[in-house]
């Protein structure tokens, strides 16, 4: 049984920028343990020297010229924003105010 | 008989001969949606006013060269449509009413004068196999609304099966086109990775995602893929290869075709009625002059574990963009920026999406990367090699699409692993990047459709279509219709 502690779940949730309740932490710990246990079966396979496949097609880096192009206007970009001011996205303060 | 019992080619002739108008087709679509969508929940958003206006314009300016002239279709809600609400069935995007651009596939469809009638229901962010993870309402199976339509493109398959549209687009990361097509008794194609542009498809797992068509017939399917396939400079992973005329591959001739049948695809865990239908289908192929032999995909039993590690890892990175800054629903309960990210995401995402983001973040986190993510990618290589080896000797691989027919709503929702395990026959295809189609090949004793999966070599959709079409021509499963709303 994979050991996944509540503290680990809370750490991963922070990395993933998810706020989780105590109850969710318990559920997620249980689910993750079950899924990771299931994934442990991959260790039955000897993969020494096997290249990982990140991509099935034989693609190399594809470069293009760094040129500016017409895409969307600043106004368009802000159209779906929850909050904006003076042509910029506005977010809550980065440092907590108290 | 509904106008939608005709093929696109037949309707093209009828339009050309002025027996029907584009407005007739579009009105038929909305009439049917009005009649049955309350039971099926296939649509999340309709675009009726624009669609009817466009129909009128097309009737005034007939274009015999447009490949989908006046044909009503539906678009899965994770594919961007300019100015038309695109939610991915997530509360996070509930207010995303004004997308700024069309996905390349939508642009290509529009160039061929199709009419998009609306956006289709799905599992949230395409994560799920039953459509029960839609944050709105679960789509239902038109053959029996107590059953799921499959997922994640459940709305796309249900809408076509219910006769609401002639075709739809879905997306397939681990079976999300083929499995719902199988459950709903329609034709669903996942093209080769790179065959179709992913630009404007909201990314789930970028190394696996592909857009593909769902239709009632193989011929219609080939026609839609001809339109949406091809290289796109906006997606550098789209292949720079010419698109064959898939509809011309439908010769009905499979004489000498060499079929491989993986023994793992007919093993324990496959429902008896599914196995029987596949064996019957193989007899049909024998009678048409094809031959089949049993082969093995020895690493297929590891595919589900590798798939969930890889796809969830990629998803955890892709879904980082949903931060409540540029679009989507922002939490009103936050007092600083990081808190705003966390609360917006937690309030906006459903349980399955959170579970996968957590799994993916865990698998990519320091100290676990090699053990899980890299290991899964190495196993992916082994699975791909299994396919390559089979395709050295055979033209296509045939088996079931799903181990069972559709299950009941609520039956598996509390047990993610059982739900994941059902993807065993579809995920290896995405890991290998090859094309696969599901076509109807029978019915269970309860009257639920069974899907036959035909898998081909990289970029050999033509042979997949030819094989599927030959079976369809020799059988009549594709002509059966669900009895919905009593109006069929």
Nearest to A57 among B239, B338, B357 (CB): B239
B288 belongs to a structural domain: no
Angstrom distance (rounded) from CA B455 to CA B425: 11
Active-site positions of B read: 76, 152, 176
B238 belongs to a structural domain: yes
Q: At a CB cut-off of 8 Å and minimum separation 6, what does A92 contact?
A: B334, B335, B336, B337, B339, B340
Please answer yes or no on whether A96 and B327 come within 8 Å at the CB atom: no
Please answer yes or no on whether B308 and A35 come within 8 Å at the CB atom: yes
Helices (H) and strands (E) in chain A, counts: 3, 2
The total number of structural domains in chain B stands at: 1
Q: Do B108 and B124 meet the contact criterion of CB atoms below 8 Å apart?
A: no
B306 CB neighbours in chain A (<8 A) are: 42
Nearest to A42 among B326, B361, B376 (CB): B376
Angstrom distance (rounded) from CA A15 to CA A91: 20
Angstrom distance (rounded) from CA B367 to CA B243: 44
The total number of structural domains in chain A stands at: 1
B454 belongs to a structural domain: no
A54 belongs to a structural domain: no
Please answer yes or no on whether A89 and B326 come within 8 Å at the CB atom: yes
B200 belongs to a structural domain: yes
Q: At a CB cut-off of 8 Å and minimum separation 6, what does B472 contact?
A: B187, B217, B218, B439, B478
B362 CB neighbours in chain A (<8 A) are: 4, 8, 12, 32, 36
ipTM rounded to 2 decimals: 0.94
Angstrom distance (rounded) from CA B331 to CA B327: 12
Residue B236: per-residue pLDDT: 92
Please answer yes or no on whether A82 and B328 come within 8 Å at the CB atom: yes
**Residue A23 burial (C-beta neighbours within 10 Å; 0-12, 13-18, 19+):** exposed
Handedness of CA B146, B152, B156, B161 (dihedral sign): negative
Which residue from A minimizes the CA distance to B365?
A12
Please answer yes or no on whether A81 and B327 come within 8 Å at the CB atom: yes
Residue B476: per-residue pLDDT: 97
- Residue to mutate among A3, A7, A14, A18, with most B CBs inside 10 A, is A18
B128 belongs to a structural domain: yes
- CATH number of the CATH domain containing A19: 1.10.20.60
Residue A98: per-residue pLDDT: 47
Angstrom distance (rounded) from CA A19 to CA A21: 7
B184 belongs to a structural domain: yes
Query: Hey, how many other C-beta atoms are within 10 angstroms of the C-beta on B69?
Result: 20
Nearest to A92 among B340, B354, B359 (CB): B340
Residue B201: per-residue pLDDT: 98
Angstrom distance (rounded) from CA A80 to CA B289: 57
Instruction: Give me the domain span that covers residue B98.
Output: 3-257+461-479
A13 belongs to a structural domain: yes
Instruction: Give me the domain span that covers residue A29.
Output: 1-46
A5 belongs to a structural domain: yes
Q: Is the pLDDT of residue A97 over 60?
A: no
A7 belongs to a structural domain: yes
Residue B1: per-residue pLDDT: 77
A69 CB neighbours in chain B (<8 A) are: none
Please answer yes or no on whether A57 and B378 come within 8 Å at the CB atom: no
In degrees, to the nearest 5, what angle opens at C-alpha A26 toward C-alphas A22 and A31? Answer: 145
- Least Cα separation, residue A1 to chain B (angstroms): 15
Q: Is A52 on the interface with B (CB under 8 A)?
A: yes
pLDDT values of chain B reduced to their tens digit, one per residue, 488 residues: 799 999 999 999 999 999 999 999 999 999 999 999 999 999 999 999 999 999 999 999 999 999 999 999 999 999 999 999 999 999 999 999 999 999 999 999 999 999 999 999 999 999 999 999 999 999 999 999 999 999 999 999 999 999 999 999 999 999 999 999 999 999 999 999 999 999 999 999 999 999 999 999 999 999 999 999 999 999 999 999 999 999 999 999 999 999 999 999 999 889 999 999 999 999 999 999 999 999 999 999 999 999 999 999 999 999 999 999 999 999 998 989 999 999 999 999 999 999 999 999 999 998 899 999 999 999 999 999 999 999 999 999 999 999 999 999 999 888 888 888 889 999 999 999 999 999 999 999 999 999 999 999 999 999 999 999 999 999 999 999 999 854 34
B304 belongs to a structural domain: no
Please answer yes or no on whether A79 and B98 come within 8 Å at the CB atom: yes
B38 belongs to a structural domain: yes
Q: Is A6 on the interface with B (CB under 8 A)?
A: no
Residue A60: per-residue pLDDT: 78
Angstrom distance (rounded) from CA B367 to CA A44: 20
Handedness of CA B311, B314, B317, B320 (dihedral sign): negative
Residue B447 tokens read as 């009257």
B93-124 burial code (b ≥16 CB/10 A, e <16):
beebeebebbbbbbbbbbebbbbbbbbbbbbb
Q: Is A70 on the interface with B (CB under 8 A)?
A: no
Which DSSP letter does residue B91 get? G
Angstrom distance (rounded) from CA B124 to CA B327: 17
Q: Do B28 and B163 meet the contact criterion of CB atoms below 8 Å apart?
A: no
Q: Could you tell me where the DSSP H helices lie in B261-411?
A: 272-287, 303-318, 337-348, 351-364, 375-393
- CATH number of the CATH domain containing B239: 3.90.1300.10
Nearest to A45 among B98, B340, B379 (CB): B379
Please answer yes or no on whether A42 and B334 come within 8 Å at the CB atom: no
Does the predicted model carry a pTM greater than 0.90?
yes
């Amino acid at each position: 049984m994979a050991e996944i502690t509540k503290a680990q779940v809370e750490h991963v949730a922070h990395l993933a920028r998810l706020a989780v309740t105590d109850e969710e932490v318990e559920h997620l710990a249980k689910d993750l343990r079950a899924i990771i246990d299931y994934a442990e079966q991959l260790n039955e396979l000897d993969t020494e020297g096997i290249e990982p496949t990140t991509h099935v097609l034989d693609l190399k880096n594809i470069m293009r010229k760094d040129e500016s192009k017409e895409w969307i206007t600043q106004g368009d970009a802000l159209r779906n924003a929850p909050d904006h001011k003076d042509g910029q996205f506005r977010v809550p303060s980065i440092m907590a105010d108290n | 008989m509904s106008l939608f019992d005709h093929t696109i080619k037949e309707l093209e002739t009828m339009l050309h001969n002025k027996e029907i108008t584009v407005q007739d087709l579009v009105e038929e679509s909305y009439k049917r949606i009005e009649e049955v969508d309350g039971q099926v929940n296939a649509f999340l958003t309709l675009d009726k006013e624009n669609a009817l206006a466009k129909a009128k314009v097309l009737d005034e300016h007939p274009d015999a060269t447009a490949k989908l002239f006046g044909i009503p279709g539906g678009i899965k809600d994770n594919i961007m449509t300019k100015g038309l609400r695109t939610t991915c069935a997530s509360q996070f995007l509930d207010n995303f009413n004004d997308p700024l651009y069309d996905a390349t596939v939508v642009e290509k469809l529009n160039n061929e004068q199709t009419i998009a009638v609306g956006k289709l229901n799905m599992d949230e962010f395409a994560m799920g196999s039953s459509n029960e993870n839609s944050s709105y309402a679960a789509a239902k199976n038109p053959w029996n609304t107590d059953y799921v339509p499959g997922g994640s493109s459940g709305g796309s398959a249900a809408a076509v099966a219910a006769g609401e549209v002639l075709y739809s687009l879905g997306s397939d990361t681990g079976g999300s086109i083929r499995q719902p097509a199988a459950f709903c008794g329609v034709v669903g194609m996942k093209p080769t990775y790179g065959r179709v542009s992913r630009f404007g498809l909201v990314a789930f797992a970028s190394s696996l995602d592909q857009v593909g068509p769902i239709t009632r017939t193989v011929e219609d399917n080939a026609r839609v893929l001809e339109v949406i396939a091809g290289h796109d400079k906006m997606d550098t992973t789209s292949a720079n290869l010419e698109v064959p005329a898939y509809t011309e591959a439908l010769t009905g001739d499979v004489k000498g075709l060499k079929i491989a049948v993986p023994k793992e695809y007919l093993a324990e865990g496959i429902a008896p009625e599914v196995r029987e239908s596949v064996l019957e289908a193989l007899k049909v192929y024998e009678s048409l002059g094809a031959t089949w032999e049993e082969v093995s995909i020895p690493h297929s039993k590891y595919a589900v574990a590798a798939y969930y590690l890889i796809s969830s890892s990629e998803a955890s990175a892709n879904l980082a963009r949903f931060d409540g800054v540029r679009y989507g629903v922002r939490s009103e309960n936050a007092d600083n920026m990081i808190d705003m990210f966390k609360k917006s995401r937690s309030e906006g995402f459903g349980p399955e999406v959170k579970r996968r983001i957590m799994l993916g973040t865990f698998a990519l986190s320091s100290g676990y990367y090699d053990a899980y993510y890299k290991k899964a990618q190495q196993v992916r290589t082994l699975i791909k090699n299994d396919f390559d080896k089979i395709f050295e000797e055979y033209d296509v691989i045939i088996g079931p699409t799903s181990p069972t027919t559709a299950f009941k709503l609520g039956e598996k929702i509390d047990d993610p692993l059982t739900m994941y395990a059902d993807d065993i026959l579809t995920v290896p295809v995405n890991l290998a990047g090859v094309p696969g189609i599901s076509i109807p090949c029978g019915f269970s004793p309860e009257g639920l459709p069974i899907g036959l999966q035909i898998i081909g070599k990289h970029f050999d959709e033509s042979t997949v279509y030819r094989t599927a079409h030959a079976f369809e021509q020799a059988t009549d499963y594709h002509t059966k219709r669900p009895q919905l709303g009593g109006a069929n």
